[in-house]
């Protein structure tokens, strides 16, 4: 049985989320920023391997909790595309990412 192949696309807002977070960590420690970068990439790999296994939090939006960092990746699946709509710090107001959908 052939499994469906997915591609990941980041929204402009998700790219800004990542860039700001990475810069924040980099200012404090390039080593921590590198670890953050690796954890986000690992998150994308885990989502890509089994995108439907993570919980739906709003309509068709799912969330993946990033390991070792207080972030959540919010995404939706459209055909064979995983659309990342936010890489969101858990202390932020969730209504902000909710406005993106």
On whether residue 57 sits in a domain, the answer given is yes
On whether residue 33 sits in a domain, the answer given is yes
Q: What are 62-86's pLDDT values in tens digits?
A: 999 999 999 999 999 999 999 999 9
Tell me how far apart the alpha carbons of residues 82 and 21 are, in angstroms, rounded to a whole number.
21
Q: What average pLDDT is seen over the chain?
A: 91
Q: Kindly report the number of other CB atoms within 10 A of residue 28's CB atom.
A: 9
On whether residue 16 sits in a domain, the answer given is yes
Q: Which residues contact 63 (CB under 8 A, 6 or more apart)?
A: 54, 55, 57, 72, 73, 74, 75
pLDDT of 87 strictly over 60? yes
On whether residue 52 sits in a domain, the answer given is yes
On whether residue 2 sits in a domain, the answer given is no
What total of structural domains would you count in the chain?
A: 1
Q: Which pair of tokens denotes residue 12?
A: 């402009």
On whether residue 36 sits in a domain, the answer given is yes
- Domain harbouring 29, CATH code: 3.30.2310.20
pLDDT of 2 strictly over 60? no
On whether residue 1 sits in a domain, the answer given is no
pLDDT of 3 strictly over 90? no
Please give the pLDDT value at position 97: 64
Domain containing 63: what range? Answer: 7-98
pTM score, whole prediction: 0.88
Q: Decide which of 94 and 63 is more confident.
A: 63
Please give the pLDDT value at position 50: 92
Nearest to 101 by CA among 85, 77, 90: 85
Q: Are 70 and 92 in contact (CB under 8 A)?
A: no
Tell me how far apart the alpha carbons of residues 57 and 39 are, in angstroms, rounded to a whole number.
22
């Amino acid at each position: 049985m052939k499994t469906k192949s997915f591609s990941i696309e980041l929204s402009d807002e998700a790219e800004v989320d990542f860039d700001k977070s990475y810069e924040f960590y980099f200012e404090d420690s390039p080593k921590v920023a590198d670890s953050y970068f690796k954890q986000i990439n690992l998150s994308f790999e885990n989502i890509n391997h089994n995108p439907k296994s993570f919980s739906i939090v709003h309509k068709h939006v799912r969330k993946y909790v990033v390991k070792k960092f207080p972030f959540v990746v919010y995404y939706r699946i459209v055909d064979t595309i995983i659309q990342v709509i936010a890489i969101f710090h858990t202390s932020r107001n969730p209504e902000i990412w909710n406005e993106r959908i």
